[in-house]
Structure 1
Amino acid sequence: MKLIGIEEHFLTTEIGAAWHAIGLDAVDPSVAFHAGKIEGRLLDLADDRLALMDEAGLDVQVLSLTTPMLHDLGPASVDLARRTNDALAAAVARHPTRFQALATLPVAIPEEAALELERCVRTLGFKGTMLCGRVGDRHLDDAAFSPILHCAESLGAPILLHPRTPPAAVREAYYSGIGPVVDAAFATFGLGWHYDAGIQFIRLVLAGTFDRMPGLQVILGHWGELVLFYAERLAAMDRVSGLDQPIATYLRRNLWVTASGMFLPHYLERAAAIVGADRLLFSTDFPYQYRPGGDARRFLETCGLDEPARAGFAHGNWERLTGQGAD
């Protein structure tokens, strides 16, 4: 059974240098995570990556730029995004049966980002885009970002909404005071990243984004970035939200959920109960969650889904979402 991982990351030396040039490594602890062996795996889009895919049992990686993407780079991100996407398209062309791609966008310049998303989907054959939530102090539900969201809806291009590090004030208030290393972990991969991404999605819901753009499709990783486990509490806001639909409707109509390497059958069961088994997507969160020994393939085989749902989880749901048809 073909296995497609839809959240699999890369980095370029040019983007790493751009982060360092603006001092992003001093204010965002996640930049330091892209070092050593992890950096080598992020940078490689050739034989070593393919060998690790084979070892995990993954047939296809859908490539996306790692966090914090280009969100902090301002006008310079326009040309950088184009160069990055062109290089990514070349990598896909070299290995068309092994790689697909999500667009890297100059999100701080929304009109340009919308144009680049259209180019990537229509010309380069990319399957959608990945965004990392906030841009400066603006959330994705800010009206400034509507051109990107409208473009994604019109193209039928899903948005993978990826975690990023919470703002400094939030880290100071909630994730500090234990010790520098633990504070950084707590604010990022321990918990802070996932709250941040989940909140971005809920803000989109509460701001009426999916009432205005009912066809917009968003993917959350890590089994829904905590959102699904509080679906009942979120539903309590129906009486005050003023939305066209109950919140549960948006979870089943506009949200897709992926594993991000958290290979836990009880999490999968919860996700299927909330969004439906036909909205579950596979991913390994390469290289951060990479584990050798056929781990990805083994989870697929033991996840507890029946055969049709398992095929959907493995590849069919992604192909349907992105208009690739059955295979």
Structure 2
Amino acid sequence: MIRRQSLSPRMGTPEAAADELERSVGELRLRGALVNGTSNGRFLDHPSFGPVLARAEALDVPIYVHPSLPPRSVLDAYYDDLPGATSFLLAGPGFGWHAETALHVLRLVVAGVFERHPGLKIIVGHMGEGLATMIDRFDEVFGGFAAHNLTAGIGETIRSRVWVTTSGFFSAIPFQAALAAFGVDRLLFSVDYPFSSNRRGTDFLRSLPLADHEKKKIAHENADGLLRLSHPAARS
């Protein structure tokens, strides 16, 4: 049987989570929040999380949607009863984490969350969690079916609200897909240490067939802007 991580009590009470986010940004000078997958089996598009999203928007800080194991019912139906560690690997870093995080982002879009929170910014890791290869497909399949919720296409919404890190994905094919789908201004360098090698990550960055100014964007300039790391307040 696959074990789940326990739910953070803060996300179980969204108003308290919103207050903690504001305290962390105001007092501790943090630059955003990280949410591990679903909370009590609910994605962030659930109305109960409105206070957290609204506070992140008001504070102008991003939310990093990080992978986590899916709810017990999904684990049992999709991933369990496989030999050895295969169930965990399939549910987690081998596939499930990435598929569920991509689904999380897609739900935010089609549920109209970005319409209600036009300043909300989302970060996902692992070269886009598979979104890059599906982004045109979303518009092709959904077409007008989501139009009643959205003022822009699904692909356009994702491209304008989501930033992507390179964490743990250091090969050409996923990078090329992320670059083509999101553009160089939306890519953020990340290693995912200790699960990935710092040396491998930096070697990969240096090897990219990009101009130096584009590598600088990925290495730090995009993060400087998104997280306001170059703002005078960040240096005080």
* TM-score (norm: length of structure 2): 0.91
CA distance in structure 2 between the partners assigned to 1:154 and 1:290 by the alignment: 36
2:69 corresponds in structure 1 to 165
Q: CA shift at 1:73, angstroms?
A: 4.3
Q: CA shift at 1:26, angstroms?
A: 7.0
1:310 corresponds in structure 2 to 215
Q: In 1, are the aligned partners of 2:2 and 2:80 still within 8 Å (CA)? A: no
State the number of aligned residues.
Answer: 229
Q: Does 1:279 align with 2:214?
A: no
* Aligned mate of 1:230, from 134, 142, 154: 134
Q: Secondary structure at the match of 2:93?
A: helix
Q: In 2, are the aligned partners of 1:251 and 1:274 still within 8 Å (CA)? A: no
What letter corresponds to residue 3 of structure 2 in structure 1? V
1:96 corresponds in structure 2 to none
Q: Secondary structure at the match of 2:92?
A: helix
Deviations 1:131-180 (A, max 9, x none): 01211122111010011111111111011110010122212222123214
Q: Secondary structure at the match of 1:250?
A: helix
1:72 corresponds in structure 2 to 7
Alignment RMSD: 1.8
* Aligned mate of 1:268, from 175, 179, 194: 175
Q: Does 1:142 align with 2:46?
A: yes
1:27 corresponds in structure 2 to 3
Q: Secondary structure at the match of 1:313?
A: helix
CA distance in structure 2 between the partners assigned to 1:308 and 1:122 by the alignment: 33
CA distance in structure 2 between the partners assigned to 1:115 and 1:168 by the alignment: 29
* Aligned mate of 1:120, from 15, 24, 29: 24
Deviations 1:56-88 (A, max 9, x none): xxxxxxxxxxxx5xx6143xxxxxxxxxxxxxx
Identity %: 34
Q: Secondary structure at the match of 1:130?
A: strand
Structure 1 gap segments, 5+ residues each: 1-24, 29-67, 75-105
Q: In 2, are the aligned partners of 1:222 and 1:261 still within 8 Å (CA)? A: yes
CA distance in structure 2 between the partners assigned to 1:146 and 1:133 by the alignment: 16
Q: Does 1:107 align with 2:11?
A: yes
Greater RCO between the two (CA within 8 Å, min separation 6)? 1
Q: In 2, are the aligned partners of 1:219 and 1:256 still within 8 Å (CA)? A: yes
Q: Secondary structure at the match of 1:141?
A: coil
1:177 corresponds in structure 2 to 81
Q: Does 1:153 align with 2:60?
A: no
Q: Report runs of 4+ in structure 1 exceeding 6 Å deviation.
A: none
* Aligned mate of 1:239, from 133, 144, 150: 144
Q: In 2, are the aligned partners of 1:132 and 1:197 still within 8 Å (CA)? A: no
1:194 corresponds in structure 2 to 98
- Counting only pairs closer than 5 Å after superposition, residues 214-229 of structure 1 correspond to structure 2 as 214-229=118-133
What letter corresponds to residue 310 of structure 1 in structure 2? K
Q: Secondary structure at the match of 1:257?
A: strand
Q: In 2, are the aligned partners of 1:256 and 1:280 still within 8 Å (CA)? A: yes
Q: Secondary structure at the match of 1:271?
A: helix
Structure 1's 168 and 262: CA in aligned 2 closer, same or farther, altered over 3 A?
A: same
Deviates more, 1:175-184 or 1:158-167: 175-184
CA distance in structure 2 between the partners assigned to 1:313 and 1:256 by the alignment: 11
